[in-house]
Structure 1
């Protein structure tokens, strides 16, 4: 892939495809309808996907477990977000919990 023309062409094709996908959503929204059950399943699947990404990011590091400090920080953030604490306080609290635990020697 040392040819600059191929790289530019690939970039333009990917940019065009991305633009087409983003344009298709609003354009097709009024033309395609899903049954209520399918819409509910899509909403639920989005939540499950995000929860699984959070779990993987919180509980693993590389090819092994992340230890205790990081999941404790994520748990603290989850509890504060559930209590509707402002976002900045949630992030700072999660960082503080993780930092304090690591300072105390908890992996």
Structure 2
């Protein structure tokens, strides 16, 4: 299994659609045994939370966020944890909104020197 996500700070490698997470969003991850959770904010997101489980290199979590325009949204995400050659961690994600239409894929990576 890839190393623990506990204490790591990750960020998207590319911007998503307006009103969603983007390269200015930071995710502060926590992990205890098979539990995973994170707080996130930045860009169009004022505050967001995710909570779920980890089995080997797979994450399964729900997320909810408050956006700059005062709206909230929520969804489901499945991610694969990948150890990068330079020692950082990458999450390759497949997500789907549950509170609105839309789905897609994204990649977040550990920021160098953080976590």
Does the pair score TM above 0.5? Answer: no
Structure label with greater radius of gyration:
1
TM-score range, shorter chain: under 0.3
Higher strand proportion: 2
- TM-score between both structures, scaled by the size of structure 2: 0.22
- TM-score between both structures, scaled by the size of structure 1: 0.23
Higher relative contact order (CA 8 A, sep 6+): 2
